[in-house]
Structure 1
Amino acid sequence: MTRFLLMGAVLAVMAFTMPTKKVVLFNGKDLTGWKIYGTEKWYVENGELICESGPDKQYGYLATEQFYKNFDLSVQFKQEANGNSGVFFRSTVEGTKISGWQVEVAPKDHDTGGIYESYGRGWLEQIPAEKETILKPGEWNTLRIRVEGDHVQTFLNGKAMVDRHDEKIGAANGSIALQIHDGGGIKVRWRKLVLKEL
């Protein structure tokens, strides 16, 4: 009995100390590991991933082929023109209809770092006015999203934005997906998409 208890304790320590797996989602060269949904533009330029409105001016998504349930994701973005976009997590896409949760990436005073549930409850967390100054328009910004179980945290340029527990999110699984909002005139640059699986 003592031996089994000791083995259990050793396994628990090993599980606790095992390094997290780091996944580079964007290789800086092409869209390997991603799938395009819709007719909007997704392309690579100078090592950066660019999303841009196409002639249809509709919603567009670029989603990982792999599902990621528990993770800590860091991504840099720079908005050009209208930067209305977002990063979805635990999402699934059919055509241009997405199910899941979006961490907003938008122009100043439009809740970058907040959480929106598409085709569901709408805004779960919007950003208070005093945090709208954290976004740096026209510059590179760092967005961090940590999701573990039902716990979601978002950070913009190192500042905490959202800290929420949500039962519905906790039950879900799916892809990481970048969004182009409808309406046209949107362009956002992305780089350094690195995910640590938890």
Structure 2
Amino acid sequence: MKQLLLFSGFLLLSCSLAAQKKKSLFNGKDLTGWTIHGTEKWYVDNGELVCESGPDKEYGYLSTNEKYKNFELTLQFKQEANGNSGVFFRSAIEGVKISGWQVEVAPLNAHTGGIYESYGRGWIIQPKPEDEQWLKPGEWNTLNIKVINDEVTTWLNGHQMIYLKDEKVGQGDGFIALQIHSGGGIKVRWREIRIKVKR
């Protein structure tokens, strides 16, 4: 009985320590900890972060104030319009010209979970055609992104989408950013944005 109690206590402590290591990047109330780039719309609605095209229909970004090199990021998104968005990592920005790598968030069969390098090599890796099916249009989706040194892995709704090992990615550093693509007609909701920093 004593051993069982000790084991239970160990499990509770382990779970508590694991939870402490995962940091929430979005407080569900306002944009504290983030910076808006561009003129597109970023706001909080019903505890969710919303990005929406504005009248200029240009690129827009919402970046973390902190830089993150190695991490595991988990978030949920729901596309309410048929537009293109994404999650940038190890990025820097000047105006609305961003450098770094984007994990695509896009309509069905448009490579959600793939990696795109803006103002660089373009598409680096796309999911296999049979893996495009894991996106749930108009519903909440869970995206996991793991970036360790020169390796990147993404999962969509629990299914691995890509694995990338890339020297240039390994040399990168910078913030995490959510994107609104240019062209207008985009609206995406985000929630449960959590990160675990890796050393």
* TM-score (ref. length: structure 2): 0.89
Hey, what does 2:74 align to over in structure 1? 74
Distance 1:141 1:157 in 2: 6
Q: Deviations over 1:165-185 (max 9, x none)?
A: 111110111100000000000
**Would you say 1:151 and 2:114 are equivalent positions?**
no
Count of aligned pairs: 182
For residues 49-78 of structure 1, give each alpha carbon's deviation from its aligned partner in whole angstroms, at most 9, with x where no partner exists. 000000000000000000000000000000
Poorly superposed stretches of 4+, deviation over 6 Å: 17-20
RMSD: 1.4
1:1-198 correspondence to structure 2 within 5 Å: 21-198=21-198
AA partner of residue 39 (structure 1): T
SS of structure 1 residue aligned to 2:142: strand
Instruction: State the distance in 1 between where 2:31 and 2:45 align.
Output: 11
Equivalent residue letter for 1:30: D
Residues 114 and 162 in structure 1, CA contact (< 8 A), matched pair in contact too: yes
Could you report, residue by residue, the CA deviation over 1:27-62 in whole angstroms, capped at 9, with x for unpaired residues?
000000000000000000000000000000000000
Give me the whole-angstrom Cα distance separating, in 2, the residues matched to 1:129 and 1:69: 30
Distance in 2 of aligned mates of 1:126 and 1:173: 22
Instruction: Give the Cα–Cα distance (whole angstroms) in 2 for the partners of residues 96 and 18 of structure 1.
Output: 36
- What is the alpha-carbon distance in structure 2 between the residues aligned to residue 155 and residue 39 of structure 1? 31
Unaligned runs of 5+ in 1: 1-16
Q: Is the 8 A contact 1:70 1:197 kept in 2?
A: yes
Matched-pair identity in %: 68
Say which SS state the counterpart of residue 81 (structure 1) adopts: coil
Give the AA of the match of 2:77.
Answer: F
Give, as a single letter, the amino acid of the residue that structure 2 aligns with 1:145: I
Q: Give the gaps of 5 or more residues in structure 2.
A: 1-16
Q: Deviations along 1:108-144, whole A, 9 cap, x unmatched?
A: 0100000000000000001221111100000000000
1-structure distance, mates of 2:64, 2:182: 21
Contact in 2 for aligned 1:90/1:101 (Cα 8 Å)? yes
Give the secondary-structure state (helix, strand or coil) at the position aligned to 1:169.
helix
SS at match of 1:170: helix
Separation in 2, partners of 1:63, 1:163: 24
Task: Determine helix, strand or coil for the equivalent of 1:132.
Answer: helix
Counterpart of 1:13 in structure 2 is none
Structure 2 counterpart of 1:9: none
1:20/1:196 contact within 8 Å kept? no
Q: Output the CA distance in 2 between the equivalents of 1:175 and 1:105.
A: 18
CA distance in 1, matches of 2:153, 2:85: 19
